[in-house]
Structure 1
Amino acid sequence: MARKARKQGTGTNSFLARLVGRAFGRLGRAGGLVFLVAGLALSGWGAYEAAYTAGWAGTHGTLTVKECEESYPNNASRSSRKNRRPIRCDGTFVSDNGKSEDANAAVQVRHRYEPGTELSVQQTDPPTTDDATDGDYVQGGMDRAWRFLGAFFGGWVLTGLGVFCLVTGYAPFGQSRISYNAAWEASARGVTRPAVIGMIGVGLVGAGVSFLVSYFF
């Protein structure tokens, strides 16, 4: 009876071990999926913002400031109010080619400007009607564009980590059913390892260079 009980206990422990192993395997792939989605989202957002702030997309023009207002969220803490000051400048936008004009233009900036100041902005979406106030604008500048490019390349790093975890099942956090060494060896089969190294390498170099170049503008 004691021997039978030991066998049953061993079988139960083995079953639980396999169950936990499969759970951590799925956790690794789930974590990889999170990294992958986050990386793609970050790269997409960085590319979108960089295209407009650099003037590669949208309509470039000048916004002549009428007034700037600084506002804080009602629930913002004192420290966050000190570090983050959203400022909205209203004015008239005129495109460089003279084909687009918006007397109700507004742009979010980081500094307050005096009335009459001319800001270089990019129109991302024109107003739906002549009297509408739904036009979208961003303040241009290559320094900001390079920082957004840094975010674009930073997304490559997360994407590479996501691909690695998704393919191998390695969990980057907590206990992993698959060790890092085993996952790294498994990634050598096929194109997984070169793809991961390429994405992470390009992401790190691109992000570093982008943020470094942004300080020279």
Structure 2
Amino acid sequence: MAGAQGPEKSTGKGSTIDRFLSKLVAGTFGRLGRAGGLAFLAAGLVLSGFGAYEGTYAAGWAGTRGTLTVEECTVSYPNNASRSSRKNRRPIRCEGTFVSEDGRRRDTSAAVQMRQRYEQGAELPVTQTDPPTSADATDADYTATGMDRALRWFAAFFGGWVLTGLGVFCLATGYAPFGRSRVSYGAAWEASGRGATRPAVVAMIGVGLAGALVTFLVSYSF
């Protein structure tokens, strides 16, 4: 009997700790309210801004478009990369000579991060996002171009709209989407309908979801 009671006590103690932690986390998130909304809003704006920035360069709409002729592609891992990340992520750096479309710019020390290796002599469409700081410098930045890559970045741009809409809703109503919110969802939804908050939130989340889904799916057609 003593041996049977041991596991029960251990399980009960573990359950008590789990319930305590769950209540603590729920209570913390429940008190966030407008502070949580501000966090969602900031995250959404950052995600949308970063997605638009990267997508614009990946599409070749900004920067200097050109071709990088590969001399060598190598796999390089960060020094602090874990074994699992080394296995699942293979950052490939392709080095070579960049020549702009108009032939006015040339960089023999160009390098770009790719998803796969390329043979020597392969020509990669790239965009020079930042030119070298001097004629002899090797610090220019490049990104691979292609509408498939660009559309995936634009999917992130639209995904940021969803977080932004949620942030606006929480800021305007004080509702916290996690845990036990001080303001119920029903009360928050009713309050948002008294002005322009509800239409704005629905529009942002709807456009964000639709835009992210469409751009992500269309990216696979290229």
Please give the range of the TM-score, normalised by the shorter of the 2 chains: 0.7 to 0.9
Q: Does 1:56 align with 2:56?
A: no
1:104–1:131 Cα contact (<8 Å) kept: no
Q: CA deviation at 1:77?
A: 2.6
Q: Which moved more, 1:145-154 or 1:109-118?
A: 109-118
Percent identical across equivalent pairs?
A: 75
The one of 175, 186, 207 aligned to 1:202: 207
Q: Does 1:215 align with 2:220?
A: yes
Q: Matched residue pairs, number?
A: 195
Q: Which amino acid aligns with 1:111?
A: Q
Q: CA separation in 1, counterparts of 2:187 and 2:197? A: 14
The match for 1:116 is 121
The match for 1:70 is 75
1:40–1:156 Cα contact (<8 Å) kept: yes
The match for 2:14 is none
The match for 1:140 is 145
Q: CA deviation at 1:24?
A: 7.8
The match for 1:32 is 37
Q: Secondary structure of the residue that 2:221 maps to in structure 1?
A: coil
The one of 162, 168, 186 aligned to 1:163: 168
Q: CA deviation at 1:84?
A: 0.6
Q: Which amino acid aligns with 2:78?
A: P
Q: CA separation in 2, counterparts of 1:205 and 1:216? A: 17
* TM-score of the two chains, using structure 2 as the length reference: 0.85
Unaligned runs of 5+ in 1: 1-22
User: What CA deviation, in whole Å up to 9, does each residue of 1:102-128 have, x standing for no partner?
Assistant: 111111111111111111000101101
The match for 1:84 is 89
Q: Secondary structure of the residue that 1:63 maps to in structure 2?
A: strand
Q: Provide the alpha-carbon RMSD of the alignment.
A: 1.4
* TM-score of the two chains, using structure 1 as the length reference: 0.87
Alignment of 1:91-110 (within 5 A): 91-110=96-115
